[in-house]
Amino acid sequence: MEIPKRLILDQTAIARRVRELGARLSQDYRGLEPVLVGVLKGAFIFLADLVRALEFPVEVDFVRLASYGAGTQSSGEVRITKDVETPLTGRHVLIVEDIVDAGLTLEALRRHLAARQPASLKICCFIDKRERRQVEVPLDYVGFIVPKGFLVGYGLDCGEKFRTLPEVYALDSG
């Protein structure tokens, strides 16, 4: 497997930013015992690093979403293939997502989880990619803003490839 050549975020930059986000979350959520909901599969590495940067206990759960359509653009129709198992009513919920592109996936998930009537519902995403945004989803915590391109690594994949790379790269075909 040949590694893509255009490096966007190196390990040092990622680690520093995750520590900063962890510090902010520690200020905002201390004592609230939040549930962090990771969006599979892409967010698993970001979530794993993020929870270890927190100075207070949290619960972790996962959802898995399938967006209809293949390739590098999501179709907008979203199906939940694995739901959260933790009761969320009255809990402080933080969605942890890898990347927001059109915003359709996250908006569908936000509505789905809001229906459980959590005490609060916020979003933390690793990368905010604004160029193709179609829905203005409120992003409360953002790791990096990257204007465009198709990104891989640190959980992000292209057809299941490159997910395990410790840095983030852009694919030139993106």
14 binds ligand IMP (CB under 6 A): no
Task: Please choose, out of 36-44, 82-90, 113-121, 166-174, the segment that lies near Mg ion by the rule CB under 5 A.
Answer: 36-44
Per-residue binding string, ligand IMP, 64-103, x by CB under 6 A, is ----------x----------------------xxxxxxx
128 binds ligand IMP (CB under 6 A): no
Query: Which residue, 39 or 124, is less far from Mg ion as judged by CB?
Result: 39
Is the Cβ–Cβ distance between 118 and 141 less than 8 Å?
no
Query: Which residue, 93 or 104, is less far from Mg ion as judged by CB?
Result: 104
Q: Which of 61, 101, 140, 172 is catalytic?
A: 101
Could you give the CA distance from residue 75 to residue 69 in angstroms, rounded to a whole number?
6
Q: Give the N- to C-terminal CA distance of the chain in Å, as an integer.
A: 18
Q: Assess whether 101 carries a catalytic annotation.
A: yes
User: Three-state SS for 99?
Assistant: strand
State the minimum distance, in angstroms, from the CB of residue 55 to Mg ion: 27
38 binds Mg ion (CB under 5 A): no
Q: What does the DSSP 8-state code read for residue 20?
A: H
150 binds ligand IMP (CB under 6 A): yes
Query: Which residue, 42 or 153, is less far from Mg ion as judged by CB?
Result: 42
State the minimum distance, in angstroms, from the CB of residue 106 to Mg ion: 8
Which residues have a Cβ under 8 Å from the Cβ of 95 and sit 6 or more positions away?
A: 37, 39, 106, 109, 110, 113, 121, 122, 123, 124
Could you give the CA distance from residue 42 to residue 174 in angstroms, rounded to a whole number?
17
State the minimum distance, in angstroms, from the CB of residue 31 to ligand IMP: 30
Q: Which of 35, 31, 34, 33 is nearest to 86 (CA)?
A: 35
126 binds ligand IMP (CB under 6 A): no
**What is the strand order of the sheet 6-9 is part of?**
6-9, 168-171, 150-152
Which residues sit at the interface with Mg ion, rule CB under 5 A?
39, 42, 98
Residue numbers annotated as active site: 101
